Amino acid sequence: MAASSVVAETTALEPGKLVEKVVASVDPEQSYALYLPSSYGADRRWPVLYLFDARRRGAAMARHHQAAAERLGWIVVSSNNSESDGEFEPNRRAMIAMWEDSHARFPIDPRRRYAAGFSGGGRVAVILGYARRGEVAGVIGWGAGFPPTHEPVTEWVPFDYFAAVGDEDFNYPELADLAKQLREVGARHRLRVFEGGHDWPPKEVAAEAMTWMEIEAMKRGLRPVDLPLVTAAFEERAAAAAALEGAGRVRAAAAELEALAEDFIGFHEVDEVENRAAALRQSTEWARAQAAAEEALAWEAATIDRIRQAFNATAASSPERLGLDEVLDVVDLHGLRQRAADGERFERALAAERMLAKLGAQTAYTLPRRMTQQGDHRRALLMLEIGVRIVPESPRTWLRLAEAAMRTGDPQRALEGLAEAVERGLDNLDEIVGEPLWAPLRENPRFERLLAGG
C-alpha cells in the first residue's frame, strides 16, 4: 500500500471509537485492533501501547485497556495475530507489522512507546523491548515474565517493567522471583498481585500499570509533571494499602506501602508511608505471614520438581510400563485438593491452587501437544488421562484425549472420551466428520449417535 493510501485510510479512523481490524500495509496478513483517544489529533505526538494476547484476541484486549488509554491519552495497537505455545514466527511478524504500520499512520512520541502482553504475549512484549532497545520506554507483563533468551541477571534491562499476576496463577512463583532479580540489578519495576488465576488482570490493574508508566515518564522528563494525576494515583494506592492492612494482610500492605514511597518520592510526602511500612515489617503478624509465604513457595517448588521427575521418568519407560496409577500417586490430586481447601493456611491453599492450575495447563494441553508433535502418542494419552481428572469440565480436553486414544489404537477409550466431550458441551462436531483420524469409527453406531448430538 502506498504512503498516500495509508494516510487516506488513516483519516477515516475515528478517534474515540475502537476499530477491531486495521490491516497492516507492510504485511496484509497481519492486522490489529486500534483505539485512538477522543482527544487525538495529528498536531502533536502521542504515546502508544502495543498489545500481544496469547490467543489472538486483539479487539478484546484493546477494549480491556481502552478506558485507561482514553483517560491518559494513549494510542492502543493490539495484534490480531499474536499467540502463545507455538512457533515464534507469527509474533515476530506481528511485532514488525504493527510497529511499522503504526509509525507510518500516526505521530507517535518516540520517547513514549510501550508494549504489553498476556502469558506468552507478555514474553513477546519483553522481546520487543529488547529488539527495540532504547526505543521502548516500558513493558507490561500480564501473567508471565521474561523469556529464557533474556535474563535480567545477565543482561541490562533497557525499559521500565510492570508485572501483574493472579495469586492463583501458576506463573506466580516465576514473577515473584523475577521481581527479586530486577531489584538486585537495579531495574525500575513493579509487581502487582491480584486475586485470580492465569488471566488478564482487572481493568483497574491495567490502568494502574499505565499510570505507573506515566509517573515514571514524569521522573525521566519525558512528559510534563501532572500533579492532579500524581495526587489521584497516590491517594488511590494509599487507600488500597489501607484496605489490605484492614483485612489483616500485613505482608501485602507493607509491600504496597514500600512501593508507594518509592514510586512517589519527590512528587508527594512519603515519610508517613515509610514509617508505617517499617512498623508493619517489625510486627509479629508480618513475620508470621512471611514465614508462611516462604514455606508455601518452598513446598510448591519441591512439588513441581517431584512431579516433573515422575513425568520425565515416563519417557524412559517402555510403552507397556507407562502406568497411569503410578503417576497419579506421585501427583496426588486428592492431597492437592485438600490443601487447596485449607481455610486455615491461606498461603498453603494458594500454592496448592497454583499447582492444580499448572498441572491442568500442562497435562490438558501443553505436554500432550508437544508429545503429539513428536509422535509420542502413548505419553500424550497418559498426560491427558491426568488432565481430564484435573479439569473434567473442559470438553476440549476430553476431545484431545479421544484423539490421542485413536492415535494409540484404542477406539473404545476414544469413544468414551468423545462421549464425555459431547456431554460437557463440545460444539463444532462437524469438524470431526472429515478428519481421517476418525475414519475407523465412521460406521460405528455409537460414533454416529455422538455426532448427531447424543
Residue 314 has what pLDDT? 73
Q: Which of 255-259, 363-367, 450-454 has the lowest mean pLDDT?
A: 450-454
C-alpha cell at 303: 512439588
Query: pLDDT, tens digit, for every residue of 145-181?
Result: 999 989 887 778 999 999 999 999 999 999 999 999 9
Cell 496463577 sits on residue? 169
What average pLDDT score do residues 315-336 get?
A: 75
Determine the residue type at 255. A
Residue 2 has pLDDT above 50, yes or no: no
Residue 396 has pLDDT above 80, yes or no: yes
Task: Give CA–CA dist 306/72, Å, rounded.
Answer: 47
Residue 452 has what pLDDT? 82
CATH H superfamily, domain 3-224: Alpha/Beta hydrolase fold, catalytic domain (3.40.50.1820)
Q: Which of 19, 21, 26 is nearest to 5 (CA)?
A: 26
* Residue 3 binned pLDDT confidence (cut-offs 50, 70, 90): very low
Annotated domain spans of the chain: 3-224, 286-451
Residues in a beta bridge with 161: 139, 189
Residues of the chain with pLDDT > 90, as a percent, come to 81
In degrees rounded to 5, what are phi and psi of residue 408? -95, 5
Output the CA–CA distances (angstroms, integers) from residue 76 to 14, 35, 59, 212, 233, in the order listed: 13, 5, 10, 17, 21
Query: pLDDT, tens digit, for every residue of 38-68?
Result: 999 999 999 999 999 999 999 999 999 999 9
Report the DSSP pairing between strands 160-166 and 46-52.
Answer: unpaired
Q: Which of 147, 34, 141 is nearest to 97 (CA)?
A: 34
Give the mean pLDDT of the chain: 92
C-alpha cell at 262: 518509592
Report the DSSP pairing between strands 31-35 and 46-52.
Answer: unpaired
* Residue 382 binned pLDDT confidence (cut-offs 50, 70, 90): very high
Cell 525521566 sits on residue? 220
* 66 touches 76 (CB < 8 A): yes
C-alpha cell at 25: 500495509
Task: Give CA–CA dist 24/33, Å, rounded.
Answer: 11
CB atoms within 10 A of CB 381: 27
What average pLDDT score do residues 363-370 get?
A: 92
The per-residue DSSP string of 12-46 comes to TSPTTSEEEEEE-TT-TT-EEEEE--TT--TTS-E
Determine the residue type at 263. D
Cell 490438558 sits on residue? 364
CATH class in words for 286-451: mainly alpha
Task: Give CA–CA dist 398/421, Å, rounded.
Answer: 5
Residue 101 has pLDDT above 60, yes or no: yes
Query: pLDDT, tens digit, for every residue of 183-218?
Result: 999 999 999 999 999 999 999 999 999 999 999 999
Residues in a beta bridge with 263: none
Taking the complete model, does pTM exceed 0.85, yes or no?
Answer: yes
* Residue 312 binned pLDDT confidence (cut-offs 50, 70, 90): confident
Residue 4 has what pLDDT? 43
Output the CA–CA distances (angstroms, integers) from residue 185 to 58, 126, 151, 336, in the order listed: 33, 17, 11, 36
Task: Give CA–CA dist 15/70, Å, rounded.
Answer: 10
C-alpha cell at 71: 483517560
What is the maximal distance between C-alpha atoms in the chain?
77
